[in-house]
Each structure stands twice: as structure tokens, then as C-alpha cells.
Amino acid sequence: MTRADWVLLLALLVGLPWLYLQVWSSAPGQQLAILTAEGPPRILPLYPDQEVRIAGALGDSVIRIEQGRARFIASACSNKVCIQRGWIDASGESSACLPNRVSIQVLGRDARYDAVNF
Amino acid sequence: MQIQTTREDHRIAWLAALAIAIHVLEAALPSPLPGVKPGLANVITIVVLVQFGWRMAAWVSLLRVLCGSLLLGTLLSPTFFLSLGGALASLAVLALAARLPGRGFGPVGYSLLAAQAHMLGQFLIAWQLFIPHPGLWTLLPLLLTAALLFGLLSGIIARMMLQGVTREPA
């Protein structure tokens, strides 16, 4: 083993764990897409904090954006599944209020999930 | 008509034949993941690189890919292009590594470099041509780790071989 061999081996032993960290840690989302039955999707940044009121099929849905995550906090539906979904922050995660026909999805560099099935 | 062959041509043919035999034998081994296999045929490439230089190593390596695919029936199939892409990438990296001044790399270093380049080359081809999905990148660290282990193994075998053979006078 020459000195170059050892340097290379060491570089690989350091570089590969770094690559695992880079590739396998889920990227935080950067934007939030709000989709409604009517009209084009609205894209909002996940910073700074804000609350958005969206008119849906039944009434208004209120979405809160806080510290890079987002959730429904109120919706004009009966079962409130969208609110119980809680905070979403990973790129690709989504929450939907089907009765009110409003859904939100976190957008990022690359999506953590392609699709989520319940 | 007779084609004049040089001593070097014969040497290339013999060494390529050895590499092809290893390549074909290895194809019988089951693989846990597509694209992961020991790549022991590259031991020959490394030994040739150290003993006879890059040009001969390139001949042996490319002949191995071509004839190996003919024997296994994978010529022009995805497997062939992955194999070819990997071989070209490692040859490119070896060409640079062989130019390093001073003592430079030994067989283990060459083998590690070639294995990483081979994996990266075939990964990029797989990503560009066959599975252009960002999810494929999740596999990359695993594949490169496998390349590290098998590259190290091949390198150690190549080193033992080089210690065993003494170059016959030309």
C-alpha cells in the first residue's frame, strides 16, 4: 500500500458516511402548494409564519404556516380529517380536506414521498 | 491472407481471455442488488495496468466487456451498456491516476478508484437511460459502499497476484 492508497481509502471511509447523510436525510420543504377545486394552485413560502384563508366548496379553510411547517387549523367540513392530520413539513407530505376540496402539499427540492395511500 | 500479430497482441488476447473467463464464471453468482457484483475480472485489469500500462489495460478491459457480453448473450442489452459505461468510467479514472507523479497508487488504490468510477459510471447510465427517477439516488451510497468493499477485495487479490508473478523478459 502506497501513501496515495491510504489517503484514498481514508477519503472513501470519510466520504461515504457523508454521502449517506446527504442522500438519506429527508430534505425539509421550502414551499407550500395549496390546491383547490377551482383556480390554479397557490404556492406560498413556508417562511415567514402566516395564516391563509382559502375559499373551498363548502366554505373557508384556514391554513397556518409556522416555522417551516403547515397545517389546517379550521375547515368548513364535518369530519375534520384535514385538521387531525396535523403538521406537515417533509417535502412531498400533504394534507387534504376532501369535502371542502382543498388540499395542501409541501414542496421541496425532491419529494420525500411520491404518493401516500391510506 | 495472414494478419501479422505482435507479441503484445498475443499477450492482450491471453489476458483478456482470462478476464472473460472470470467475468462469465462470476455471472453465475447470485446478486443481492442489480449492479452489485464482486467484479473480480477487474483484478486482471489492475494487474495489467501495473505490469504493462494503461493502453493494454484498456484493451483487456474493453475486450472483456465485449466478449463477455457475447458469451452471456447480453450484447446491446441494458446490462451491456451498464457494463460498458462502468468500464469506460474506470478506464478514464485510471488514466488520470496512472499519471500521478511520485510513487502514486498501488494496486489497491487503483482497484478502489476503478471500482468507485465503475459504479458511478453505471449508476449515471442507469439513471440517464433506464430509471430517470430521483429516488434512484437513495441507492447510491449503498452501491458505492459495495464498490468500496469489492474494490478493496479485488485490489488485495491483485496485489497478491502481482507479488506472485514475475515479469517474463520481453
**A12 vs B102, B112, B134: nearest CB:** B112
pTM of the full structure: 0.72
Output the CATH code of domain A31-107: 2.60.320.10
pLDDT (tens, 9 = 90+) of chain B, 170 residues, equals 788 999 999 999 999 999 999 999 998 888 877 768 888 999 999 999 999 999 999 999 999 999 999 999 999 998 899 999 999 999 999 999 999 888 889 999 999 999 999 999 999 999 999 888 777 888 899 999 999 999 999 999 999 999 988 655 54
Domains of chain B: 7-164 (1.10.1760.20)
**Three-class secondary structure assignment of chain B:** CCCCCCHHHHHHHHHHHHHHHHHHHHHCCCCCCCCCCCCCHHHHHHHHHHHHCHHHHHHHHHHHHHHHHHHHCCCCCHHHHHHHHHHHHHHHHHHHHHCCCCCCCCHHHHHHHHHHHHHHHHHHHHHHHHCCCHHHHHHHHHHHHHHHHHHHHHHHHHHHHHHHCCCCCC
Task: Determine whether the interchain pair B152/A110 forms a contact, defined as Cβ–Cβ distance below 8 Å.
Answer: no
Q: Could you report the per-residue pLDDT of B131-164, keeping only the tens digit for each? A: 887 778 888 999 999 999 999 999 999 999 999 8
Which tens digit of pLDDT belongs to each residue from A92-118? 788 999 999 999 988 876 655 666 666
Please state the ipTM of this predicted complex. Answer: 0.88
Mutate to test the interface with B, among A3, A5, A91 (most CBs of B within 10 A): A5
Q: What is the pLDDT of residue B65?
A: 95
**Contact residues, chain B, for A111 at CB < 8 Å:** 134
For chain A, what are the domain ranges? 31-107
Contact A9 B112 (CB under 8 A): yes
